[in-house]
Structures are given as C-alpha cells and as structure tokens.
Amino acid sequence: MLRAADDLLVERGFAALTMEGIAQRAGVAKQTIYRWWKSKVEILLDTLSDDAREALEWRVGEDDPHGDLKSHLQRVADFFEEPAGQVMQALLGHAQLDKDTAASLRDGFLREQRERDVAGLRAFLARSHDLSVDDRTVDRLVDLLLGPLHYRVLVLGKPIDEELVDTTARLVVTLARDSTH
C-alpha cells in the first residue's frame, strides 16, 4: 500500500492522488486502507518516514572526513530525486496550505529527521575532526549544512550539483572548527 501511494504520487501528483486509487493499485479494498490511514496525507507521511529513515541515514565511512560529509550530502541530493523525495516535496507543498498537514509533518517526520541530522553531524565532527561542539552550534550547523540543498530543490526547483555539495561540506567543517576557538 505504501509503495502504491509512492508510485501514484510520482505518476499523478498530489492533487490527483486518492485513497481509492491507492487501494486499486495495491489490490486491496478501500476499507483496508481506511483501517490503517484516515487520509492520503497520513499514508504519505508513513511512506516518507519509512523510506527516509534508510535513505537519509548518517553512515560511518572509511573515506576522508570531507568525503564522508560529501557522501552524506550526496545521499540527501539523491533522495530528492527518488519517489520518497518527491513525497516529501509534495507534503511540504501541501503543508503550506493545510495547517494540520504542517503540524503532522513537523511533529513527526521533520522532528525525527532533525534529531537524526543533529546526532549524525555531532558524531561526524567528533569522529572525523575531534571537535566537541555545543548543542546550539550543532543545531545551527545542521541548518547551514542542509539549508542550501533544500533551497536549491524546494525554492529554485533545480538539481543539487557536486559543486554545491562540496562547498557546503567544506564550509560547515570550517565553521565547526572556528566555533571551538
């Protein structure tokens, strides 16, 4: 059912996605869908959370530290091109018009992903650069790390290129180092 929702969103867009269409694509009765989810937003939030958990995971590599951070940012860039990234974009767009969607998205997926990103960047800085950065600074560094990528995709509607990934990774590490002096 989650895969059917992903596929239909990519094929038809958010406005044309219906619970009936999801049920038909999944080969189940509409009542089965409604037993688990009240709306297409709820099913999309579940599919987003499931897909993003692995796709946006912070991974420990054996690469150079700058390369490890670039690899993570490239996974974020790739995520935006995948169906799950398109689900996220659709939900963020809908959240601008619907306060309940905005609250569900912020209180669920976005809060959880933010916690993973803060923990991931903190661990990366400690492991790769032996930097201990305070909570407030790590929080702001996550903004600086992910903000340019989100801006490029969500505001400008352009793909994320290697130069943006490289520059962003380099600047965030430099700012983390500077914050400890």
Domains in the chain: boundaries? 53-179
Fold of 53-179: Tetracycline Repressor; domain 2 (1.10.357)
Sign of CA dihedral 67, 57, 148, 9: positive
Q: Report, in angstroms and rounded to the nearest whole number, the Rg of the chain calculated over CA atoms.
A: 18
Residue 86 CB neighbours (<10 A): 18
Dihedral angle, C-alpha 42, 43, 47, 49, nearest 10 °: 20
Amino acid at site 118: V
* CA 161, 83, 105, 46 torsion-angle sign: negative
Q: Helix, strand, or coil here: 17?
A: coil
- Token output for 128: 């790769």
Which segments of 18-110 does DSSP mark as H helices, in order? 19-26, 30-36, 40-55, 65-81, 83-95, 99-105
Q: Which residue has the tokens 């400690």?
A: 126
* CA distances, 119 to each of 57, 74, 88, 177 (Å): 11, 18, 21, 17
Q: What is the pTM of this model?
A: 0.87
- 181 residues of the chain, pLDDT tens digit each: 888 888 888 888 888 888 999 999 999 998 889 899 999 999 999 999 989 998 999 987 766 777 889 999 999 999 999 988 999 999 999 999 999 999 999 999 999 999 999 999 999 988 887 888 899 999 999 999 999 999 999 999 999 999 999 999 999 999 998 887 6
- In this predicted model, what pLDDT tens digit does every residue of 84-122 receive, in sequence order? 899 999 999 999 999 999 999 999 999 999 999 999 999
